[in-house]
Amino acid sequence: MAGLTKAQVAARMGVTPPAITRLERNVTRASWLTLKRYAAACGVDIRLTARREGKTG
């Protein structure tokens, strides 16, 4: 978590520390928006890129 406590990440996201614990325990159920907010709170930029299979560039 980029050296941050759960409380710090929670404050940056506007949620409670228990919400961060639930997110971290069940990350596969998190929405894309939640993951993006979590990453931003940790100082990380994440992006999703869609490509057609077999296409490059």
Asked whether the CA dihedral 32, 28, 22, 10 is positive or negative, the reply is: negative
pLDDT tens digits, 15-44: 999 999 999 999 999 999 999 999 999 999
Confidence band of 54 (pLDDT split at 50, 70, 90): confident
Distance CA 51, CA 16 (A): 36
Q: What pTM does this model have?
A: 0.79
Measure the N-to-C terminal CA separation of the chain; round to a whole number of Å. 32
Question: HEC profile for 16-41?
Answer: CHHHHHHHHHCHHHCCHHHHHHHHHH
H/E segment holding residue 7: helix 6-13
Confidence band of 56 (pLDDT split at 50, 70, 90): low
